[in-house]
Amino acid sequence: MIDALKKVSLFDSLSETELDSLAAVVVARNYPKNAIVVNEGDRSDALYVILSGRVKVYVGGEGPRELVLNIQGPGDYFGEMVLDEGPRSASVMTLEPCRLAMLTRERFRSHLHAHPDVAIAVIRNLIRRCRALTDTARDLALLDVYGRLAKLLLSLAEQDGDRLVVSEHLTKQAMGERIGASREMVSRILKDLTAGGYISMQGGKMIIKRKPPANW
């Protein structure tokens, strides 16, 4: 457990003794793929640290559609807004088998009081997430579906020699959830981008052959 906690940026200022004390009060649990860890609107009672696996943080509407706010992996954490004792502002679901460590609200508060550096790290992370949500709100308000999809693909792409490659495998449904669009609309845009010579699929990876235009 201590080795796993060492990889969490929130706790990187703690000594071995402090990590040992922290490990004694957290509760680790395994979750299967597609398990709902917390539901939007639930009572906030704990902070969760991701020891292994990935989760998605999302909000839902009246129907089946949802908007993915973030994808998180090992070393990340969620539920820090437990401090205000309000309801959960989003749901969290595992994308693959995960091992999560849970720290109750009372333990989390005590930990922050004892370690101001950790409290500052939490504040910085909240600011970062607030900026990300502002960007998401801007994109939803000012970009059409094509613009949001093109921006998503470019943000996921990594330089591989002289080409951009999207290594993460995303279904059309998953892309739609990230940009607030239907699967059908995403499929239509990807088909047009392929026909236009902007993207192609090779070995299960998406290759961005040239930067998509600002408008379609």
Question: Tens digits of per-residue pLDDT, 135-179?
Answer: 989 999 999 999 999 999 999 999 888 789 998 888 999 999 999
User: What residue ranges define each of the domains in the chain, with the CATH number in brackets?
Assistant: 2-141 (2.60.120.10), 144-208 (1.10.10.10)
The closest alpha carbon to 212, from 148, 150, 142, 139, belongs to 150
- What was the pLDDT predicted at 33? 97
pLDDT of residue 161: 81
User: Is the pTM of the predicted complex or chain greater than 0.95?
Assistant: no
Report the DSSP pairing between strands 27-31 and 55-60. unpaired
The answer to whether the CB of 188 falls within 8 A of the CB of 145 is no
Sheet holding 55-60, edge to edge: 36-38, 91-94, 55-60, 66-72
Collect the ranges in the chain with pLDDT lower than 70: 62-63
Strands (E), the chain: 27-31, 36-38, 46-52, 55-60, 66-72, 77-78, 91-94, 98-104, 158-160, 163-166, 199-202, 205-208
Residue type, 141: A
Specify the pLDDT at position 43. 85
Predicted pLDDT at 8: 83
Q: Which amino acid would we find at residue 39? A: N
Q: What's the pLDDT score for residue 149?
A: 96
